[in-house]
């Protein structure tokens, strides 16, 4: 086969793309680590395939999960993606800390290029393939239940969003086995990421993975917003929405407006690289500062896309485990809205040093500090919700309290950074790295973990083990402080981010402390997985199928656990904020509907996973320039969409009889169960029926 033929068939692919071969040829430590990582991906995929075959899981996986349009299953699948990607990115973080701790006047364990890949994948994954799927999954699962809806407004589009995100995540995983990932950081700034300085496939992997996931998120935003505006149960006025739904609404509005600039930026970068355009090149009229503007026009609202849903989760968790209604509900709603609006006015603070002049910097600095005000309002509201409450310190609550303390510290360093003159001094240093980890770990990850602890019994019908949960909490909490407080000091001492080597011996104690913190965080992650394992094994002892394990307040607790496919046998009639809580007080809860009706639900569809598959093929093919596959997969996606639009039989009717039988069985179980005092909710007695408290 001649070279031209090979290029036509396989594009840029060759044997050197495999890390195993590179490690065989140059068995340096850095290459061995890369080969081990690639091997882990291959072995993991093989293990899953073998297990699925042994336990005959392929059929159920396809029928019950991948083709499902049920928002609850889609939500769970999002969270599974987030969990897998979280594990990879935390391991990478530990490697980054290890390298920096060892590389004082030394080469360390990985080469500079490999180190670049490590921090690029770590950031890209944490933002696009951990945080985004995680919050999208939680909103997907919880929001329709909270507003009294049976599904999203656009269930099929929901599945497509999931599959596009999965395709992007798949590309990042494949880059471990075939080729190399970008070394341009999660922001991918040109001209470094331009073809001149990064000719390999790495940046292309980054471009297409991020593009697929950002398209998915745009569709998700449209879906969430439409659902929240149009699918609420009768009586569910906007100001009766649980606060989590308000934060979901603000997040989805931000997604609608902010994801597009990112898609534009990555596509322009792609045109620069593939077709010789000059959007961001150093010469020929290109302007890389436009990239910084476009990227952060997305990037700053993105910060609030990430943080707001966590704020919503904390509001639910704190109110529930304090046994009080949320303090200052309206002020929290307004604060959330103000934050969402302000988030579009501060993007420039990411590049104060780019040279746009002092006055402009001052305006954006002031706007940045202004965001502290509504956030402060929220912190006080949460504190006052706890004040004089009967607080139960469950795992979810512990994460929430830790968030309050830690987030305020991160906010303070944010206000410091909002000062342009200060920012000039610490720009791109580890001080900045410490700051944004100080916002995002408590402000996103702790929230998502708290949300999982809180809603897991709703989704699966049994609680999570508290002992391992608390162990995980202390590891994460302590690990965070150990890992990131030293970075503030290092930043002030002049340590720049993304450095693979140091020449300052006085950094050593700080770097070693941070390394210990990373180890503790790794232990925390392990505890979470062990918690899941232990809880599944003890699921009979932890069972809470009746639906209300925490003496909950919102509509999601008013149905069985797990909820039936259609969520509500009869759409609820909402009378107030905290409707289910008040229903329990008034004795309105657990009443049988007067009549049952047939319920129409969307039928499963193979089209969404097929589109995801085609999208992944597209991303892989265009990265490696396999042009026939690019054309085939791109056409394939649109052919599938068109074919789907011709399908008539897309709904399935669940007969009233079936609904009635299920509902009556559950209500009979509730009738015969013994309610549990809320201080005994972590004991075996808790079957999911709460004692009505005075």
Contacting residues toward another protein, per CB under 8 A = 153-154, 218, 221-223, 225-226, 229-231, 256-257, 259-261, 263-264, 268, 271-272, 275-279, 281, 283-287, 290, 294, 297, 642, 645-646, 648
Cα maximum dimension of the chain: 82
- Of 287 and 345, which CB lies nearer to another protein in the complex structure? 287
* Cis amide prior to 191 (ω within 30 degrees): yes
Q: Say how far residue 625 (Cα) sits from the centre of its chain.
A: 30
Distance CA 227, CA 220 (A): 10
Minimum Å gap between C-beta 144 and another protein is 13
Smallest distance from the beta carbon of 305 to another protein, in angstroms? 14
Task: Tell the smallest beta-carbon distance from residue 260 to another protein (Å).
Answer: 4
Tell me whether residue 248 is exposed, middle or buried, using C-beta atoms within 10 angstroms of its C-beta: 0 to 12, 13 to 18, 19 or more.
buried
- Smallest separation, CB 276 to another protein (Å): 4
CA–CA gap between residue 326 and residue 322 (Å, rounded): 9
Least distance from C-beta 100 to another protein, angstroms?
37
CB 165 within 8 A of CB 616: no
The number of residues in the chain equals: 694
CB of 222 vs another protein, minimal distance in Å: 5
Contacts of 278 (CB under 8 A, 6+ apart): 272, 284, 285, 286
Instruction: Using the minimum distance from each CB to another protein, give the nearer residue, 258 or 319.
Output: 258
Distance of CA 379 to the CA centre of its chain: 23
Closest CB to another protein among 153 and 336?
Answer: 153
CB of 344 to another protein, least distance (A): 11
If the CB atoms of residues 602 and 688 are measured against another protein, the closer one turns out to be 602
Nearer to another protein, 70 or 272 (CB): 272
Torsion of CA 367, 368, 373, 375, to 10 degrees: 140
What is the C-alpha separation between 343 and 333, in angstroms, rounded?
15
H helices within 11-57, ranges in order?
Answer: 19-25, 29-54
Q: Which is nearer to another protein, 575 or 591 (CB)?
A: 575
Shortest Å, Cβ 372 to another protein: 27
Comparing CB distances to another protein, the nearer of 52 and 271 is: 271
Sign of CA dihedral 140, 146, 147, 148: positive
What's the per-residue H, E or C state across 575-621? CCCCHHHHHHHHCCCCCCCCCCCCEEEECCCCHHHHHHHHHHHHHHH
Nearer to another protein, 401 or 611 (CB): 611
Pick 123 or 261: Cβ nearer another protein? 261
Instruction: Name the 3-class secondary structure at 439.
Output: helix
**Nearest-approach distance from CB 149 to another protein, in angstroms:** 11
For the CB of residue 596, give the shortest distance to another protein in the complex, in Å: 17
CB 13 within 8 Å of CB 149: no
Nearer to another protein, 285 or 694 (CB): 285
């Amino acid at each position: 086969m001649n070279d031209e033929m090979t290029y036509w068939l396989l594009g840029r692919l060759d044997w050197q793309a495999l890390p195993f071969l590179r490690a065989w040829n140059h068995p340096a430590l850095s290459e061995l680590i890369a080969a081990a990582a690639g091997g882990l991906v291959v072995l993991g995929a093989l293990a899953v395939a073998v297990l699925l075959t042994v336990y005959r899981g392929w059929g159920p996986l396809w029928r019950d999960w991948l083709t499902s349009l049920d928002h609850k299953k889609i939500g769970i699948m999002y969270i599974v993606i987030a969990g897998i990607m979280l594990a990879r990115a935390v391991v990478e973080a530990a490697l980054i800390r290890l390298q920096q701790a060892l590389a004082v006047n030394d080469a360390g364990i990985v080469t500079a290029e490999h180190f670049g890949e490590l921090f690029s994948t770590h950031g890209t994954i944490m933002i696009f393939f951990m945080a985004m799927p995680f919050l999208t999954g939680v909103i997907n699962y919880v929001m329709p239940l909270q507003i009294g809806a049976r599904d999203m407004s656009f269930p099929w589009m929901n599945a497509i969003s999931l599959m596009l995100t999965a395709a992007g995540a798949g590309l990042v995983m494949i880059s471990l086995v075939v080729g190399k990932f970008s070394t341009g950081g999660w922001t991918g700034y040109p001209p470094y990421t331009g073809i001149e300085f990064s000719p390999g496939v790495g940046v292309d992997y980054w471009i297409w993975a991020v593009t697929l996931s950002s398209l998915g998120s745009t569709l998700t935003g449209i879906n969430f917003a439409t659902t929240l505006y149009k699918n609420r149960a009768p009586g569910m006025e906007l100001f009766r929405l649980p606060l989590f739904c308000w934060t979901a609404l603000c997040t989805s509005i931000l997604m609608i407006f902010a994801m597009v600039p990112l898609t534009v930026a990555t596509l322009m970068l792609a045109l620069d690289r593939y077709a010789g355009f000059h959007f961001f090149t150093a010469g020929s009229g290109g302007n890389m500062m436009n990239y910084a503007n476009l990227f952060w026009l997305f990037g700053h609202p993105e910060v609030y896309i990430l943080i707001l849903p966590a704020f919503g989760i904390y509001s639910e968790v704190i109110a529930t485990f304090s046994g009080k209604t949320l303090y200052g509900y309206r002020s929290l709603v307004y604060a959330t809205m103000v934050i969402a609006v302000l988030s579009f006015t501060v993007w420039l603070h990411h590049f104060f040093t780019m040279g746009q002049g002092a006055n402009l910097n001052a305006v954006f600095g002031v706007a940045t500090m202004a965001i502290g005000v509504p956030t402060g309002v929220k912190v006080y509201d949460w504190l006052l919700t706890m004040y004089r409450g009967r607080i139960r310190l469950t795992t979810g609550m512990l994460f929430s309290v830790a968030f309050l303390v830690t987030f305020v510290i991160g906010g303070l360093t944010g206000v410091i950074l909002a000062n342009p003159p200060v920012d000039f001094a610490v720009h791109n240093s580890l001080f900045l790295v410490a700051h944004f980890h100080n916002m995002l770990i408590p402000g996103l990850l702790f929230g998502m973990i708290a949300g999982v602890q809180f809603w897991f019994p709703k989704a699966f019908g049994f609680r999570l083990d508290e002992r391992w949960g608390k162990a995980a909490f202390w590891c994460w909490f302590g690990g965070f402080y150990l890992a990131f407080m030293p970075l503030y000091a290092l930043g002030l001492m002049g340590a720049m981010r993304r450095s693979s080597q140091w020449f300052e011996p006085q950094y050593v104690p700080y770097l070693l402390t941070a390394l210990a913190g990373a180890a503790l965080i790794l232990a925390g992650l392990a505890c979470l997985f062990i918690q899941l394992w232990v809880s599944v094994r003890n699921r009979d002892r932890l069972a809470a199928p009746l639906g209300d394990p925490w003496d909950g307040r919102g509509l999601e607790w008013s149905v069985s656990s797990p909820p039936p496919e259609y969520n509500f046998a009869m759409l609820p009639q909402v009378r107030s904020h905290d409707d289910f809580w008040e229903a329990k007080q008034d004795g309105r809860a657990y009443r049988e509907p007067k009549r049952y009706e047939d319920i129409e639900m969307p039928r499963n569809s193979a089209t969404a996973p097929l589109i995801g598959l085609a999208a992944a093929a597209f991303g892989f093919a265009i990265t490696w320039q396999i042009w026939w596959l690019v054309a085939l997969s791109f056409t394939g996606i649109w052919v599938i969409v068109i074919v789907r639009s011709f399908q008539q039989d897309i709904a399935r009717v669940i007969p009233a009889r079936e609904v009635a039988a299920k509902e009556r069985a559950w209500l009979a179980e509730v009738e015969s169960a013994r309610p549990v005092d809320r201080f005994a909710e972590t004991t075996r007695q808790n079957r999911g029926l709460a004692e009505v408290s005075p």
